[in-house]
Amino acid sequence: MLAIIGGSGFARLAGLGNARREVVRTPYGDPSCALTHGEFDGRPIVFLARHGYGHTIAPHEINYRANVWALRQVGVTQVVAVATVGGIRPDCVAGCLVVPDQLVDYTWGRRHTFFEGADQPVTHIDITWPYDAALRVQLLEAARRCGEPIIDGAVYGCTQGPRLETAAEIARLARDGCDLVGMTGMPEAGLAREAHLAYASLCVVANRAAGLGESRCGISMPDILAVLEATMGRVRTVLAEVARR
Ligand code: HPA
């Protein structure tokens, strides 16, 4: 079964048929919200709002372990994580859709593994390629069938937030090879891998990252919201096409 994790600007999935909510408890505490089960273009899916339905949970406060565990517990095998990002690479401009293929983690202090505690063996999962190759292709092909331009491949740099970055931090991320910057890609991707879930991300570029282009002098939240508002219909179209297959 497919799950969609919705990020900023995407706390609800319009058009979900026969929707019902399920409160799931996990050994790691409560997920961000009740899971929404429903049918998306005929196929059963599960939706989870990463920041809660009221968008009240900051990136560093999200219980990523509970979210991933809850999805696995209800039988999810594939996760498409919708994420809002800033664009660093010149072609990653506001309104672009991007399917990243790599990730650099700059977060700290987040509970980022299921393999800890006295009863757990030390386990080092392989995350050379953090996103599931087959699910990435499903996303890219769905976008192409819908006629939605989409960028195949980018390095997602995950910062701690909730503040945005300084221009110097973005310059450093660029030197590190990051093409996108967001705040929620990790530990979500690592935990999904630990839980044996196929995980891929559909990123929506909301703004040029700090110090770049129209963000040279600052980042405007109203502009970000306007971009997200204008883009979310396209995201929904692509997700419906992924669900259809
Ligand atoms: N930085 C980090 N996260 C973001 C940004 C950004 O510029 N835009 C949207 N999410």
DSSP string, 65-126: HHHHHHHHHTT--EEEEEEEEEE-STT--TT-EEE--EEEE---S----S--STTS------
Nearest CA to ligand 1 atom 6: 86
Query: Which atom of ligand 1 is found nearest the CA of 208?
Result: 7
Q: What is residue 13's predicted lDDT score, i.e. its pLDDT?
A: 83
Q: Give the lowest-confidence range in 15-24, 182-191, 200-209.
A: 15-24
Q: Has residue 120 got a pLDDT over 90?
A: no
Q: Has residue 49 got a pLDDT over 80?
A: yes
Ligand 1 centroid, distance to 116 Cα (angstroms): 30
- What's the pLDDT band for 1 if we cut at 50, 70, 90? very high
Q: What is residue 8's predicted lDDT score, i.e. its pLDDT?
A: 87
Q: What percent of the chain has pLDDT over 90?
A: 89
Output the CA–CA distances (angstroms, integers) from residue 221 to 40, 181, 208, in the order listed.
31, 16, 12
Q: Calculate the average pLDDT of the chain.
A: 95
Q: Is the CB of 185 under 6 A from ligand 1?
A: no
Q: Has residue 217 got a pLDDT over 80?
A: yes
Query: Which atom of ligand 1 is found nearest the CA of 215?
Result: 7
Ligand 1 centroid, distance to 88 Cα (angstroms): 10
Q: Is the CB of 68 under 6 A from ligand 1?
A: no
Domain boundary assignment for the chain = 2-244
Amino acid 150 reads I
What is the pLDDT averaged over residues 169-174? 98
Ligand 1 centroid, distance to 181 Cα (angstroms): 6
Q: Has residue 182 got a pLDDT over 90?
A: yes
- What's the pLDDT band for 42 if we cut at 50, 70, 90? confident
Ligand 1 centroid, distance to 165 Cα (angstroms): 8
Q: Which of 164, 165, 169, 202 to mutate to test the pocket of ligand 1 (most atoms within 8 A of CB)?
A: 164
What is the pLDDT averaged over residues 169-191? 98
Q: Is residue 17 within a helix (H) or strand (E), and if so which, with residue range? A: strand 17-22
0.95 surpassed by pTM: yes
Q: Has residue 244 got a pLDDT over 80?
A: yes
- CATH H-level, domain 2-244: superfamily: Nucleoside phosphorylase domain (3.40.50.1580)
- How far is Cα 169 from Cα 210, in angstroms, rounded to an integer? 8
Q: Has residue 150 got a pLDDT over 90?
A: yes
What is the pLDDT averaged over residues 51-55? 90
Q: What is residue 113's predicted lDDT score, i.e. its pLDDT?
A: 97
Ligand 1 centroid, distance to 84 Cα (angstroms): 7
Query: Which atom of ligand 1 is found nearest the CA of 164?
Result: 1
Q: What is residue 194's predicted lDDT score, i.e. its pLDDT?
A: 98
Nearest CA to ligand 1 atom 2: 182
Q: Is the CB of 165 under 6 A from ligand 1?
A: yes
